[in-house]
Structure 1
Amino acid sequence: MLTDINPKLPMRDKSATKEFYLNKLGFRSVGATDYDGYLIIGKDNIQIHFFEFKSLDPKENYGQVYIRTNDIEKLYQSLLDNKVPIHPNGALQSKPWGQKEYALLDPDNNLLTFGQSI
């Protein structure tokens, strides 16, 4: 019965979050209405929602999303081309659990892990 999932992550600054996801990661704004303190972005078949949390301490943020892809090499290269910093422990590599993965942090320290089945 479940058909979709849209994670909700905290953001301190809507314009900084929007700039990062749209201009660095290639997402697009979703919806025709701009809600105060809320942001919805999408790419291909996924959406991520953000709620304003101005007092968020990024060092204490443990927001995480695992995003599956069907072309991890191309996606990874596009991020390198856009000079998006990859997490220091998150370079593209094959994992023992049968996934090829990499990870990065957004401006609020939300961890985005991208993976594809090997």
Structure 2
Amino acid sequence: MNSKNEGALRFGRIAATLPVKDIECAKAFYIDLLGFRSVFENGSPIGFVILQRDDAELHLTLQKNHTAADFNVAHMMVENIDHLHDLVQGRGLKVVKRLQDKDYGLRAFVFEDPDGNRIDVGQPI
């Protein structure tokens, strides 16, 4: 990048967009279990939702033929990762990578949401 242009580039909000087969089921998971709130909904029936909690933002898009990827599609940094891990396990969701302290300074685990989207969760140690 040209040094005289370095100050001209600035990024704002970037949010993960997760495809879901049933938007009401996905909303219930992220709102009721994880405490997000819906700040925008579009379509009739609803086909797109923006969720927020604290500094996090997540977009849900209705994709009725969605097939989950076999890789992580989002990464969340949280406080109290052990509590989130308990919530995920209590809901019976698949934990892809167990909760553990990593050598790169994070306590982390990976789970699948109700649509099979893999979410990588981390907390600084």
Structure 2 alignment gaps of length 5 or more: 1-9
SS at match of 1:91: strand
Question: Displacement, 1:55?
Answer: 1.0
Runs of 4+, deviation exceeding 6 Å: none
Q: Deviations over 1:28-60 (max 9, x none)?
A: 1113xx3121011111111100111111123x4
Output the TM-score relative to the length of structure 2: 0.76
Superposition pairs of residues 1-118 of structure 1, within 5 angstroms: 1-31=10-40, 34-36=41-43, 37-58=47-68, 60=69, 62=71, 64-77=73-86, 79=87, 83-85=90-92, 87-118=94-125
Q: Is the 8 A contact 2:17 2:59 kept in 1?
A: yes
Matched positions, count: 113
Q: Is the 8 A contact 2:95 2:109 kept in 1?
A: no
| Larger CA Rg, structure 1 vs 2 | 2
Q: Is the 8 A contact 1:10 1:63 kept in 2?
A: no
Q: Deviations over 1:53-74 (max 9, x none)?
A: 111123x464611111233234
- Distance in 1 (CA, whole Å) between partners of 2:118 and 2:105 is 20
Structure 1 alignment gaps of length 5 or more: none
Q: Is the 8 A contact 2:96 2:112 kept in 1?
A: no
Q: Is the 8 A contact 1:61 1:108 kept in 2?
A: no
Output the TM-score relative to the length of structure 1: 0.79
Alignment root-mean-square deviation, CA: 2.2
Q: Aligned in 2, Cα 1:85/1:11: closer, same or farther, shift over 3 Å?
A: same
